[in-house]
Amino acid sequence: MSQYVSRLRRSGASSPRLRFPGAHRRPRRVAMLSVHTSPLHQPGTGDAGGMNVYIVELAKRLAAINIEVEIFTRATTGALPPSVELAPGVLVRHVDAGPYEGLAKEELPAQLCAFTHGVMQAWAGHRPGYYDLVHSHYWLSGHVGWLAAERWGVPLVHAMHTMAKVKNAALAAGDTPEPAARVIGETQVVRAADRLIANTAEEADELVRHYEADAAKVAVVHPGVNLDRFRPADGRAAARHRLGLPQDALIPLFAGRIQPLKAPDILLRAVAVLLDERPELRARMVVPVVGGPSGSGLAKPEGLQKLAAKLGVADVVRFRPPVGQDQLADWFRAASVLVMPSYSESFGLVAIEAQAAGTPVIAAAVGGLPVAVRDETTGFLVPSHDPAAYARRLGEFADRPQLVDSMGAAAAAHAQGFGWDTAASATADVYTAATYEHRHPRHVPSLHG
């Protein structure tokens, strides 16, 4: 068993197909749980981010291979209909649990009972066996999924996305540690799940090391990228024209939620270091920050603007609110380089999206970013959070502008290996294995190429 899992979990999204004794089948219908953030929310706002994109794209691709998906999420306004068709074969169900607005993520554990009740009500309206499997995202959903899977007699597949112990080990200065209740909750979900999906082999190892996960339960599936949306398209010059950006500028971009964990302040500090050393660059530098305050960043939503003024770089920094995916792709195309100085990233989906659009990346060498970015080929990995180290890399793009095109071309080619179709197929294999072993716990599937 352990040999089989070792081969599966380290093979990533290109896992060999599974062969099972006798007939086997994929689940027909999956209940997907996303308690704290809706797949309909705009990424880059509130708690919406890469996980929202992950759920939407994965659900659509699963539906395309005949696995229907119903996504349960908490209703955040009374104006929402009980259900919304996101795409053919993908239904979003809004569950009433707590007040619609003003409820922080930290307050959601108290609403899990109400949320579970809503999920059970939906299930009660169907025939027995309506859902074949539960796939939960983030630990809050995992607790609902644990109860639902036991009640329905189906397997539970869980994706952590982020882990409290990993985040707490790499906190930004002044950031708030994740509470002990979350650590306990995550440990319980890890123990309850039939399968755990990790974004990278490193995340799989963290599950085993920090949470004593059974290695036999862990499978690695790299997230994907929408290659139809995120692509070089008509090029950098056209994107800059559409966004009103100067054609000859050095444009390091930050795109994402503005919170200490994502470390947009490091980009601003790096720009300040670079301009202090080379003031002649100021005339041709534009630094867009695209995104809204989130998480612990909500405590001081104006903090980054004040920092830009304090550092003397407010004249080159342009703050922009979160944008839709199509316009985000244009920001990626327009940028010289995406900068991701995060303290923790389970994968770093934004890095793949930018590369798919033909833009290199400067990223912290943390979490899944060394998988997403090929150091010295599609961008640079920085082994610290020292602004001066980021300034040196930005200086290389200033001195060698051809790097934007050469690394950008390599980045676009690299991203082609991260399509959502591949991720959905590998996820379906995990579902099939979980379903088979749930029904036949004494049998072990075999691998073939």
For 295-352, the pLDDT digits (tens) are: 555 555 588 999 999 999 999 999 999 898 899 999 999 999 999 999 988 888 899 9
pLDDT at 25: 75
Return the exposure string of 228-254: e unless at least 16 CB atoms fall within 10 Å of the residue's CB, then b: eebbbeeebeebbeebebeeebbbbbb
293 vs 341, residue with greater confidence: 341
Binding-site positions: 36, 42-43, 47-52, 105, 138, 162, 182, 257, 262, 323, 332-333, 335, 345, 353, 359
pLDDT at 47: 55
CA 315 – CA 134 distance, rounded (Å) = 50
Mean pLDDT of the chain: 89
pLDDT at 299: 52
- Give the CA radius of gyration of the chain: 22
Digit-coded pLDDT (tens) for 233-249? 999 999 999 999 999 99
pLDDT of 375 higher than 50: yes
First to last CA, the chain: 18
Q: Work out the average pLDDT over 131-136.
A: 98
Which is nearest to 47 in space by CA: 129, 151, 118, 141? 141
pLDDT at 264: 96
Digit-coded pLDDT (tens) for 386-430? 999 999 999 999 999 999 999 999 999 999 999 899 999 999 999
Answer for the pair 102, 174: CB distance below 8 angstroms, yes or no: no
Q: Work out the average pLDDT over 128-142.
A: 95
pLDDT of 232 higher than 90: yes
pLDDT of 440 higher than 90: no
What is the pTM assigned to this prediction? 0.82
Q: Percentage of the chain surpassing pLDDT 90?
A: 72
pLDDT at 15: 43
- Coil, strand or helix at 76: coil
Confidence grade of residue 446 (pLDDT, cut at 50, 70, 90): very low
pLDDT at 293: 76
pLDDT at 16: 43
Annotate 300-323 with DSSP letters as a single string. Answer: STTHHHHHHHHHT-TTTEEEE---
pLDDT at 24: 61
pLDDT at 7: 39
Answer for the pair 223, 200: CB distance below 8 angstroms, yes or no: no
Binding-site positions for UDP-N-acetyl-alpha-D-glucosamine: 42-43, 50, 257, 262, 323, 345, 353
Q: Percentage of the chain surpassing pLDDT 70?
A: 89
pLDDT at 2: 38
Answer for the pair 128, 152: CB distance below 8 angstroms, yes or no: no
Digit-coded pLDDT (tens) for 136-195? 999 999 999 999 999 999 999 999 998 999 989 888 877 889 999 999 999 999 999 999
Which of 53-62, 94-103, 352-361 shows the lowest mean pLDDT across its residues?
A: 94-103
Binding-site positions for Mg(2+): 332-333, 335, 359
Beta bridge partners of 136: 33, 158
Binding-site positions for 1D-myo-inositol 3-phosphate: 36, 47-52, 105, 138, 162, 182
CB atoms near residue 177 (< 10 Å) = 13
pLDDT at 105: 73
